[in-house]
A and B are shown apart, each in its own frame.
Chain A
């Protein structure tokens, strides 16, 4: 399973990077979501996989299962999931606000701070400005 999951991680990571390299902020956000899943799976996988057997302690103080899942990556991932949710929420709001103020989700068209005389590449299509 570790091998399959390793390959799966790689594919998820590749897809996330492909999306994050987009000029479209919405696609970037999708990439960010995938990135979280890929990174968490990576940590999970590198702690070793055990089918079933969650890390519990029996009432007598001994481990509930002889071959128990590794608790350390689980604790790390739990934190990571929550933090990346916070990150995503912030990024989402930022993209939303950027679109409100700039009328575009094309990062190459967002040149308020570093204006360029002439825009290279495909032309900027401006949507309707909300607010």
Chain B
């Protein structure tokens, strides 16, 4: 079944080694960071914009970097087997590694602009990976949805970064972290907070932006395990945790985070209950986890932050492990539907053991790390001021549902009644069980060695988030207290829910159908709305009707020029009644009369004759006002035009061939025409009211004879001073002549002769 050709194995091996190298590098930083030190590396990039390639490692970024690189190792290892034989495996490896680097860049960036760049890179690589199975419409839609939602949020976040940098006067996070007090009191704090939370909430799939995450399950399972549970979706959590010292702890921060976090957590765990597709179950439980993390971040004390970071670690371990296991089941059996699976325990023993370990951690059973984190979540939820009842209640609901979901995930496929599966089931290959097994085992080992885990991994991160030197102690047993009681209650309720799984499932389905609007539908509406607006706008602007285009152009000219004239006080009225000679009046009246004739003429020949009269009279005006050359040209051209147009008219149909315009159409045309005419008149009057600048005229008059040896200034200007313009004019004339000639001769297609 697997094609283990050496080259494929080499490439698979290379990406694993790359991830392993990163993991080893970050593991080596643990001792330094655990002592409370930080590492900062800066390289100049765009100096004048204060954009530097600066990286910053402290407890928080190290914890994230470790999760990214360690899970990355196993996902890389797993993908080679999972997608073995896929024609685009190479592309997949590339996307996966691109994502890993971008994600590492995101959590290590010290510069806000750099962080944004990496943030968007993760969005893009996520888009590519969700859409990896691009032959399916579902894959394409989900990819685009994730891109639009998280990309849109990213843009809001960028705006937030700009505000943040404005307030702090600095683009470096390590600098901004020390300015929390002044920024929280700044007038721009609230807009900044909302913009940044838009970025974080979309990335981390918080309600009401949660809908893209379940859809992102269209991606191959290793992608879901890596991006959409362990790392990328925690980017928003990282951002909020990173900016906690700068923005956190204010009343608005606390309310927004706890409320949205709690809604996401409870909603995610309820919906998870009634999913049949195991991947979707995991996707919704990921929503629960992200919601819980956000809710805990909305606190103002160390206990809640400790709980949040412990849960972050444990969730990444068990969730990526469970995703990979679901992928393995899917790979081996051909299905991942809960009702199509059963009695896998005997056929896939190793997978079953890892799955059980991961699920026990998820359910929060001692001595797994999940238990420790759940205790801390409860302590954190209780510690929240004013809202402890709300947060504890939400945490309790989410947690006991997690217990039930974990039970369903393990007991049904592995120990349920045997069902015929599409493929004959056998144990997954080594590369596919090793990762989940190790990740699940890590959850157990870290739980047993809770104190060590706390000291080396969690404490530095807590100190980074809270910006204190506080020491924290993780332990499996904290004594008999409220959290322990809540844990017991969680377990009892969880088992109860599991036993009532079937009736509850039906009830939940009904409940869900009652929800009138879903984010997914809203997204569709928004997208359709944009398309409709675009369509409507295109219909107006690109209506394909020439006279409407012209009307738009003319109306724009009239309004723009008219408004400017009016606004700048350019409208003047001459105070003197014009003194015209008799023959001048005759010419003017002749033009007016011919214009009226042109407009009203039913016969084309009458119209063209009237146009000829207008042209000749214009020539007369030139002649009367000292422009004999212009008059000569005008009259010559006018004769030519009249002759040409008359000849052409013989070949063109009469006015009657086009239907008469309606009254309203005529009215519209008339209004635009009168507007344009008035604006031109006003413009000319305004021009005439200011003295002329005669500099150029005087230059030509003074130099015409001396420089160009010509006494007709206009001729000299044309052939000498502006000779190149005339050359251009001749070129235009030639091109026009050739074009016209070719158009007459050219016959295309069916009308060819």
Contacts and interface: CB of A to CB of B under 8 A. Distances in A.
B652 A71 contact: no
Contacts of A20: 547, 550, 554
Chain A interface mostly? helix
Contacts of B627: 44, 54, 69, 74, 77
Interface in B655-698: 655, 657-662, 665, 669-670, 672-674, 676-682, 684-685, 687-688, 692, 694, 696-697
A95 B86 CA distance: 59
A interface, size bucket: 35 or more
A45 B578 CA distance: 14
Nearest to B712: A56
B648 A96 contact: yes
B2 interface: no
B743 A69 contact: no
Interface string A1-31: 1111111111111110111111111111110
Given A26-B655, A94-B743, A114 B544 contact: yes
Contacts, number: 310
B471 interface: no
Interface in B621-645: 621-622, 624-630, 633-634, 637, 640-641, 644-645
B133 to A, nearest CB: 37
A122 B693 CA distance: 52
B297 to A, nearest CB: 55
Contact of B604 (A26, A79, A131): A26
A49 B614 contact: no
B574 interface: yes
Interface stretch (B72-80, B179-187, B435-443, B728-736): B728-736
A86 B737 contact: yes
B367 to A, nearest CB: 72
A31 to B, nearest CB: 9
Interface in A44-70: 44-59, 61, 63-64, 68-70
A109 to B, nearest CB: 8
Interface residues of B, number: 106
B544 A121 contact: no
B648 A3 contact: no
B711 A72 contact: no
Nearest to A125: B657
A82 interface: yes
Interface string A111-131: 101101000011111011011
Contacts of B736: 86-87, 89-90
A86 B733 CA distance: 6
A122 B660 contact: yes
B740 interface: yes
A54 B65 CA distance: 85
Contact of B673 (A14, A29, A51): A14
A3 B551 CA distance: 27
A6 B725 contact: no
B584 interface: yes
B178 interface: no
B726 interface: yes
10 contacts: A10-B682, A13-B676, A18-B673, A19-B598, A41-B621, A52-B624, A57-B705, A100-B651, A101-B748, A127-B657
